[in-house]
Amino acid sequence: MLTPPRRSTTPRRHAPDRPASRSALRPLVLAAALIGEPVIAHANERRWHATGYVSRWVNTDLLEVAERAATGNLRFSDTNFVGGALSRVIVPSFTLPLPFTDIAFHGNRIELEGQLLRHFGGQQHWETTLALMFRTGQIPLAGGLSVNLGVGEGLSYASARPRFEGAIDVRPTRFLNYLAFEAEFAHTALQGVSVVARLHHRSGVFGLIAPQKSGSNFIGAGLRIDLN
């Protein structure tokens, strides 16, 4: 009869767990750093800001504003608005590369903006706007001064038919498209406070949502305060 081999009763010793080597941890540390970098980079960026504006009607077409401003030939009318805006950054800093080059534009943002405005002078009504605003990163100028540029697209609603909009053969419209063009100036000595120059434009988008000759242009300035 064959006798089965005896099993050893001595317990086996397991090799002790070795701590992970530094080289094995390096990829994890690098991954954590890469994941955490955007959070750190965006931590000091503003998320909310509020702006107060005063603007005046400019009697010219949108496409002529820049030329007339450069030549000092802008004509204003006695109708104005005053109001405020509240903005929320919905897409924080991102980079836009210039195709086929090594150039890239950093610090761009997208914001959601709402305004409440009171018109006075030649017309008396309220106006509300809601728009998406694309904003560039800060562009350094001189002596601690910098500027960013913004363009907004959205909708505008007036509480009454604006008297100064339209023409003899075109009835003013309450609901129109809204465009904004803006330059925001900041200085390192005034953290969280900036001065804004803005063009406020209402139109029917070349007859798309309202008859042509509908609309208006206002040029004004404001003071902006970061809220975060």
Query: What confidence tens digit (pLDDT) does each residue in 59-104 have?
Result: 888 888 888 888 888 889 899 999 999 999 999 999 989 898 888 8
DSSP 191: T
- Domain 44-226 sits in CATH at 2.40.160.20
Give how far Cα 114 sits from Cα of 80, 135, 138, 188, Å. Answer: 19, 15, 23, 27
Give residue limits of the domains in the chain: 44-226
Query: What pLDDT does residue 168 have?
Result: 65
Nearest partner of 165 among 215, 218, 217, 219, judged by Cα = 215
Of the two residues 74 and 228, the one the predictor is more confident about is 74
Which band of pLDDT confidence, cut at 50, 70 and 90, is reported for residue 35? Answer: very low
Within 10 angstroms of residue 183's Cβ, the number of other Cβ atoms is: 15
pLDDT of 147 > 80? The answer is yes
- Sign of the torsion formed by the C-alpha atoms of 18, 23, 24 and 26: positive
Locate tokens 């560039």: which residue? 136
Which band of pLDDT confidence, cut at 50, 70 and 90, is reported for residue 164? Answer: confident
Cα–Cα distance for residue pair 12/195, rounded to 1 Å: 77
Tokens of 139: 């562009």
